[in-house]
Amino acid sequence: MLKQILSKLPRKSSKLDSEESTRSNSSRSLDSPRANGRSHRTHSSGGSVSKRASSSAVFPASMVSGIEPLVPFKDVPSAEKLNLFVSKLSLCCVTFDFTDPGKNIADKDVKRKTLVELVDFVACGSMKFSEPAILAMCRMCAINLFRVFPPNYRANGGGGENDDDEPMFDPAWPHMQLVYELLLKFISSLSLDAKVAKKYIDHSFISRLLELFDSEDPRERDCLKAILHRIYGKFMVHRPYIRKSINNIFYQFVFETEKHNGIAELLEIFGSVICGFALPLKEEHKMFLWRVLIPLHKPKSIGVYFQQLSYCVTQFIDKEPKLATIVMRGLLKYWPATNSQKEVMFLGEVEEILEVINMVEFQRIMVPLFWRIGCCINSLHFQVAERALFLWNNDHIVNLIAHNRQVILPIIFPSLDRNVQSHWNPAVINLTHNIRKMFLEMDEKLFISCHNHYKEEEAVLSLAAEKRKDAWKQLEHAASLRPVIGNTAVLVS
């Protein structure tokens, strides 16, 4: 009986033995991070064994300097708290199979409570984190978070034709959420020395984090977004690598797969990054605009991340107004002439750009831009036509047009007149009448001149159409007079 009681007491071991035990157990967890059913004993719910005893049967002997990992932080002296911190992190390296809710219930609860303890300890920021503590934290996060998504998991990613499909959530999310919260507080903590931590939060660690952005769970992507943003702010040495790695994800998305779940979150991170760019902008940043942000308008799934993309583009133009010409030419290059939903979004972005553009840059792109707007005004899709006509509700855009009416009205007038004559939608016709009236009040002489010129062009086109029709009639008549010989084709009228 005495032997049984003594066997349940915490075993005190030397520091060297405990570290070797931690490393061996961590390596076993790394080799099989999600397959714990084979390596740990299952406990029956009706057993009378205490929680600590049941936990010791599942969790590895991860004591550091003789400290039992289940001891609360308040019960150890300050000098031993970091050792207990490392010990608890080693305990959390044990992973469970969450696909079976009834399996290892008590042990999962022990791990959850331990993670909550760790979050509270890091949030207090009572002491500076040592190098072993940083290493233990990175190892624990790697074991619990880093994983490869199965092919069927990411098959429908990217927000394409399967937007209505339910996203797939990881059943281990309740524990993963605590790990993400712990990592965020750890990186944000003033007790973390970036010069020491950069050896462990390195390029490999960041690459694995970026791979997780393809998760279908929006909650996980939000956590990753916050963590990566903190890493970018704290570790200046890693900033070029982070930008380059995100660029590679964008390149692969645009030019290869068009499937990725985290484009919106990555663009949101870049939105705040662009705000911090120093002036004048580096050539690297301008190339990012032209080679990454502009081609991101091409994929069909742009609706998923359009708001974040438009914000990034606008930030560039706010930083350097001369870039407005480059952006507008890029939009015209990728203009979705056969996709009405994308056309409406493009017209919205055009309005945002025109609100911040200066007169000089506007004059450089107004001819091709208003030729495209004229095509949109004549669109048979009433939402496209309405969105194009709504540009005249913006006072700044009307002011730009008024100062350049001698160039713009001759381009836009034929589209306005065709809408009045033949568009099927009453709302579009009413908007077109209002814009015609606006131009008439703006410059009556120019309006009449454009009207007369348009009528002359219509007459010329009508005459050419009549001549073409007469020519075809003569050909048909000549063909009908020729005798049918052999296999000669016969014109049937």
Quote the tokens at residue 142: 């790697």
Cα angle, residue 431 at apex, residues 429 and 437 outer, rounded to 5°: 105
Question: Which residue's structure tokens are 């009834």?
Answer: 102
Q: Which pLDDT value is given to residue 466?
A: 92
Write down the pLDDT at residue 54. 36
Alpha-carbon gap, residue 376 to 364, rounded angstroms: 20
Residue 50 and residue 136: Cα distance in Å, rounded? 28
- The tokens describing 60, both together, are 């590895």
pLDDT tens, position by position, for the chain (493 residues)? 334 433 444 444 344 344 444 444 434 333 333 434 333 333 333 333 333 333 333 444 444 444 566 787 887 888 888 888 999 999 899 888 888 877 888 888 899 999 999 999 999 877 899 999 999 999 999 999 999 887 754 444 444 444 455 667 788 888 899 999 999 999 999 999 999 999 999 999 999 999 999 999 999 999 999 999 999 999 999 999 999 999 999 999 999 988 999 999 999 999 999 998 988 999 999 999 999 999 999 999 999 999 999 999 999 999 999 999 999 999 999 999 999 999 999 999 999 999 999 999 999 999 999 999 999 999 999 999 999 999 999 999 999 999 999 999 999 999 999 999 999 999 999 999 999 999 999 999 999 999 999 899 888 888 999 999 999 999 988 888 877 666 666 555 5
Distance CA 65, CA 67 (A): 6
Closest to 34 (Cα-Cα) out of 96, 91, 108? 96
- As to burial, measured by CB atoms within 10 angstroms (0-12 exposed, 13-18 middle, 19+ buried), residue 69 is buried
Predicted confidence at residue 487, as pLDDT, reads: 67
Is residue 369 classed as helix, strand or coil in its secondary structure? helix
pLDDT at 484: 66
159 Rama sector, left if φ>0, alpha if ψ -120 to 50, beta otherwise: left
Question: Residue 104: phi, psi to the nearest 5?
Answer: 55, 45
What pLDDT score does 343 carry?
96
Q: Could you give the maximum distance between any two Cα atoms of the chain, in Å?
A: 122
Q: Which two tokens stand for residue 143?
A: 């074991």
Would you state the pLDDT for residue 144?
A: 93
C-alpha to C-alpha distance for 392 and 32, rounded to whole angstroms: 62
Show the tokens assigned to 187: 């990186």
Residue 153: the pLDDT is 47
Q: What is the pLDDT, as a whole number, of residue 51?
A: 37
DSSP state of 217: -
